Amino acid sequence: MSTAPDTLQTSVTRVQWTQYRIILLCVLSAACNPSPEPQTSRDVVAATAQSPRPVAVLPLQRGYYVASDTLCAKASNATLLLLRRNGIGGARYFCEFKRIEQTGPVTYRVEEACVDFQGEASETRHLQYILENDVRFLAKEQDAVALDARYCAQSELPLEWRNTDIKSEIE
């Protein structure tokens, strides 16, 4: 029986040595095969950049919009716009959306054909719409702000627009 403890101790030593060898092999393997390098910021930007894709409509609530610095109750012909499914316009002009492309999570490139009701020739313009949410937007033309507007419920507008039937215009 005196040899049994020695045999047991030898077996334990062998198991420990085997475990150490496995651990050592794992460590050496990791050192020889390092994990891939972290992505550079350029790679991250490229992965998150969105290719322009055509969309049917701007994801905005259709209806009346006013210049962002105007109270809904103080809207006038000069500050009020009507956003329709196919375009946007005010008292003096209407711009039909010809092509809409989503270029980022909240940005859209829009080609518009605009008609001035004063009889001037139609013009095509290209705007970048930046949506703060589905009821406020900023539209830029060549880095200059063309429109900065927010949605107003019809019931909040002056009397002359409260009872106007716009249902067929916005559906």
Mind listing the pLDDT tens digit for each residue in 114-165?
Answer: 999 887 788 999 999 999 999 999 999 998 999 999 999 999 999 999 999 9
- When the pLDDT of each residue in the chain is averaged and rounded to a whole number, the result is 79
Task: Dihedral sign for Cα 126, 128, 131, 132, please.
Answer: negative
- The model's confidence at residue 50, banded by pLDDT at 50, 70 and 90, is low
Assign 3-class secondary structure to 112-126: EEEEECCCCCCEEEE
Q: Is 66 within 8 Å of 77 (Cβ atoms)?
A: no
- Give the model's pLDDT for residue 160: 93
- Give the model's pLDDT for residue 15: 37
If one compares 91 and 36, the residue with the highest pLDDT of the two is 91
Which residue pairs, CB below 8 angstroms and at least 24 apart, start in 137-143?
137/58, 137/60, 137/65, 139/110
Percent with pLDDT over 70 in the chain: 71
Q: What is the pLDDT of residues 15-31, one digit of tens each?
A: 343 344 443 333 333 33
- The model's confidence at residue 49, banded by pLDDT at 50, 70 and 90, is low
- Give the model's pLDDT for residue 75: 97
Q: Is 60 within 8 Å of 41 (Cβ atoms)?
A: no
Alpha-carbon dihedral 43, 47, 50, 53, rounded to 10 degrees: 130
- Sequence-distant (6+) residues with CB within 8 A of 169 are 82, 84
